[in-house]
Amino acid sequence: MNSNSPATAVPPAPTRLRRFACMMYEGVLLFGVVFLAGYLFDTLTQSHNGLMLRHSRQAFLFVAIGVYFLFCWRRGGQTLPMKTWNIRLTDRQGTPLRAGRMLLRYLLLWPIPLLAALLVAGLSHITGWASLDLLIVATPFFHFIWTWFDPQGQFLHDRLLGTELHDLGRRTP
């Protein structure tokens, strides 16, 4: 069969709405991952306060979240929300990613939300509004800014790494 035939065509990128819904679902699951990792950290370190060993806790949670994503992406390029929304992570040719590229993708996921959080903190300081209120509303949308300029609607970190999200429910003719 020809590699350009419709049966083997690489699916298009998911819509922004589907990706956003997937991200919100992912956030719900990450709550459980963070809760269990935090409980494990508190048990192992005998910390009795959320501020005790704060930087170690943050590093531990960063690694725990990374392990969650790498484990899920390694098993078919999908987390549970990505399976639910028929979204798959692959390289540009539609093949599964290697572990090194998955790790780089996870690391590149962080700069935009962290810069957004810094921006929100600055706005909060200037306006006097509570930082948490603005963070909840603004930060998830910052990943989507690049998708308005990208020809295939991919995220910036995906464009930089040569990875793509595909909508498995739609096929291009």
In order, the DSSP letters of 75-87 are TTS--HHHHHTTE
Residues of the chain with confidence (pLDDT) below 50: 1-7
In a domain, 5, yes or no: no
Say what the pLDDT of residue 171 is.
Answer: 60
Query: Phi and psi dihedrals of 115, rounded to 5?
Result: -65, -40
Q: Is the dihedral of CA 61, 67, 72, 77 positive or negative?
A: positive
Which residue carries 């990208």 as its tokens?
Answer: 150
Residue-range definition of the domain harbouring residue 52:
10-167
DSSP state of 151: T
Structural domain count, the chain: 1
In a domain, 1, yes or no: no
In a domain, 134, yes or no: yes
Say what the pLDDT of residue 1 is.
Answer: 40
- Cα–Cα distance, 1 to 135 (Å, whole number): 50
In a domain, 141, yes or no: yes
In a domain, 4, yes or no: no
Say what the pLDDT of residue 102 is.
Answer: 95
In a domain, 2, yes or no: no
Say what the pLDDT of residue 118 is.
Answer: 84
In a domain, 150, yes or no: yes
For residue 159, CA distances in Å to 68, 151, 153 come to 22, 10, 9
In a domain, 3, yes or no: no
Query: Phi and psi dihedrals of 152, rounded to 5?
Result: -100, 5
